[in-house]
Copies of this chain bind each other. A is one copy, B any other.
């Protein structure tokens, strides 16, 4: 990937504090830290515009003894099979499971699926990570 170089001007005091931030977070140089800030903003914007293709990770913690819960979660996932890439299941203890579902699609579809899974009775905790397909980044 070709690199482009450009100049940035900053107030002296602000630059001093930025350099401290770079050191504390083990960035090898300023460009690296600036790249990270820019990517963070771009990922946020991808998720706000509902048409861009995004990648997300849905995590669900639930008790697999709950009647019909496993079936319900599976049915919902099959209804959205088109946007589900893969899923992984962890046995946390005798009762509790963690399911991690990787999804790829429009942010609207992905958020809809996450909300539906999370609202299913018996799911103790559900979260959606907003990440990126990595394209043009």
> Which residues of A come within 8 Å of B, CB atoms?
1-18, 21, 25-28, 30-32, 34-35, 37-43, 45, 55, 57, 59, 61-63, 85-86, 88, 90, 92-93, 95-98, 100, 102, 104, 119, 121, 124-125, 127, 129-137
Whether the pair B88, A13 counts as a contact (CB closer than 8 A) is no
Most chain B beta carbons < 10 A, residue from A39, A86, A97 = A39
Q: List 22 A-B contacts (CB under 8 A).
A: A3-B9, A3-B10, A4-B9, A4-B11, A4-B12, A4-B15, A8-B8, A14-B39, A17-B38, A17-B136, A39-B124, A40-B125, A55-B92, A57-B57, A61-B132, A61-B137, A88-B100, A90-B102, A95-B134, A98-B102, A100-B102, A127-B129
